[in-house]
Structure 1
């Protein structure tokens, strides 16, 4: 098996890392509040909001593995982890469904602005009584001449309060189960759509999240994703991209965290010795590195399988589990290694832990991933 990157991949990674560091200086801690439109447009100019979108719509035309490499560079080089997450949700849960299943009119209308940074997109799936269960969505869509009318509420939309366009899913045939869900692209300006205010979160502070309310909201036929009833399959397709490539951004964050812990263990002294000389510390760092490299290999394998055209369901679920659970464990280790400094906000270590915790929840919880693994194993 070939584990090395090509010269072109290495150069692209280094170029992106340098560009991200220049656009978002490493020593610059995120200020209070959400990302700005200026910062978002910087991501667009760097090509990071359309990595896997076809070139004809302003994207990079990259496959899953090359896209993951670029997201890893972004996560490694940018301290604004909430914005990195928001960019991934925008690209993988919104742009990719439009690119792969949208009508020609929808692709032309939305994708260039989404890739360039002029538009922000939010994925509106989660409801109060439905997260990963696409067969029980309370938001309903009814067929009318020329399109559909949507009614209901979505409870958690990443980027929602700032988004210009939403990819959402609604029940169009309650009797058809998972075959009765349809995907839609909805502009913020649509009559009957109310965008909620941002709510407070545990972490990922730089990205806003809020709810949506549809009240007799008309969506034209040319903004339907795929065929009516195919929304469940389209959503799962987008989750394949998100669970693999978005989590490469958190892989980059984890890589930086390990490096910080190594430097701290070398520099920090207690009882006249470097704390790296205590096995309790050095073994903890070794375990962090083990989880990091195992997660990286699983994630690259998942992306490789996606590029081969296979379903990659097992590989993607395993990689998502490894990255998210490994990062949470690693962030807890980092707080312990930094001690009191890890608990205070000055060094930003506690922020990594807060940013890590939601990775075991979104894009399908860790238990959902374990269910997928068990199903793929025939259990």
Structure 2
């Protein structure tokens, strides 16, 4: 594996940093306090091409390979103070859009993928009130009728749900088959019986709306079934490999920014007649932040390399999700400790990273679930 970057790739990352620093940092603290989704910034990201980076030009994308894409997403996270916006972009990219790209018909791609790449907001709904880690214990049903299906049920804790216009959702079409009887559908907000909740308040990622999707006798035509009937398990597994492997690409950029800010502060903050960076307790924290950053990059790049090479990546994606999510929390704690009192006062925009990082231990499969996946693939479970 060669993780050296070409001149062109580094220039693309630089452009992503310049774009995010220039266009994505308006009133971040105010939006965080108010649970406000940065819609204008989202539109600017779509115009810049973020939502199309890994997709074919025939659907309005850029056609970048996985390694180039994750490097640019790093740049986006490095320059953007708001972790929520890059997370929202990554969530839509790697789950909703990738599912349609991988399993959709040409008509579905032309109708829905193009819209999503251009900035239409999409959600990916499988989680229910009683099926979180037990992913396939779904109560939502899809009953076959003439010309389509009737969807009945609810999806909970769904990223972008309150503002989505399109959603990929999973329902049981044959309960006797268990997880093999799950089917995916593309629904949009013009379909009668499909509604969404208000934004649910949460500890971090407050600019990323989270909420519920509701289906009450919602008719979905046959042409909106995604993949074959009963193929929901394969579709979900494929989408989760992408999401788990890549969803923290932008957070790695933020970890790099944390490190630079910490080094600068440690060199300039004086205490007991010397810079605090001369204290081993501070320098060791910064060394640990560097180690986590570089190790996180290796996990991310390996997933992208395997993806680009069409090699299996389930275990590596689980390892990337597990390590990077926990590394971001640990580095965010060190970030606060290095800045001392400023680290816990909201106006300095240090503590927000820790709040934003906590959810990463849960969504896209908890850390415990990732460990189970790794252990199972190693022949232990």
Task: Name the CA distance, whole Å, in 1 between partners of 2:38 and 2:259.
Answer: 29
Residue 302 (str. 1) matches residue 266 (str. 2): no
Q: Which residue of 2 aligns with 1:4?
A: 4
Q: Which residue of 2 aligns with 1:149?
A: 150
Q: Which residue of 1 aligns with 2:23?
A: 23
Aligned-pair CA distance for 1:149: 0.8
Deviation by residue 1:117-163 (Cα, 9 ceiling, x = unmatched): 1x101111111111243321111111111111110111111111111
* Alpha-carbon contact 1:122-1:158 (below 8 Å) kept: yes
Q: Please point out which of 60, 65, 68 is paired with 1:66.
A: 68
Q: Which residue of 1 aligns with 2:331?
A: 330
Deviation by residue 1:259-314 (Cα, 9 ceiling, x = unmatched): 11111111111111111010011001101111110111111011111111122111
Task: Name the CA distance, whole Å, in 1 between partners of 2:353 and 2:152.
Answer: 38
Residue 359 (str. 1) matches residue 360 (str. 2): yes
Aligned-pair CA distance for 1:31: 2.7
Q: Number of residue pairs matched? A: 377
Task: Name the CA distance, whole Å, in 1 between partners of 2:100 and 2:287.
Answer: 42
What are the equivalent positions in structure 2 for 1:243-322 lying under 5 Å apart?
243-322=244-323
* Alpha-carbon contact 2:3-2:301 (below 8 Å) kept: no
Deviation by residue 1:166-187 (Cα, 9 ceiling, x = unmatched): 1111111112122111111100
Aligned-pair CA distance for 1:99: 1.2
Task: Name the CA distance, whole Å, in 1 between partners of 2:67 and 2:284.
Answer: 31
Q: Which residue of 2 aligns with 1:81?
A: 83
Q: Which residue of 2 aligns with 1:225?
A: 226
Task: Name the CA distance, whole Å, in 2 between partners of 1:61 and 1:31.
Answer: 35
Task: Name the CA distance, whole Å, in 2 between partners of 1:132 and 1:309.
Answer: 28
Q: Please point out which of 97, 112, 115 is paired with 2:114.
A: 112
| Paired residue secondary structure (1:166) | strand
Aligned-pair CA distance for 1:37: 2.9
Task: Name the CA distance, whole Å, in 2 between partners of 1:242 and 1:90.
Answer: 9
Q: Please point out which of 53, 57, 78 is paired with 1:55.
A: 57
* Alpha-carbon contact 2:244-2:318 (below 8 Å) kept: yes
Deviation by residue 1:202-231 (Cα, 9 ceiling, x = unmatched): 001111111111101111111111111111
* Alpha-carbon contact 2:16-2:73 (below 8 Å) kept: no
| Unaligned segments of structure 2, at least 5 residues | none
TM-score normalised by length of structure 2: 0.96
* Alpha-carbon contact 2:143-2:151 (below 8 Å) kept: yes
| Paired residue secondary structure (2:5) | coil
Q: What's the C-alpha RMSD, in Å, of the aligned pairs?
A: 1.4
| Paired residue secondary structure (2:348) | coil
* Alpha-carbon contact 1:64-1:245 (below 8 Å) kept: no
* Alpha-carbon contact 2:162-2:211 (below 8 Å) kept: yes
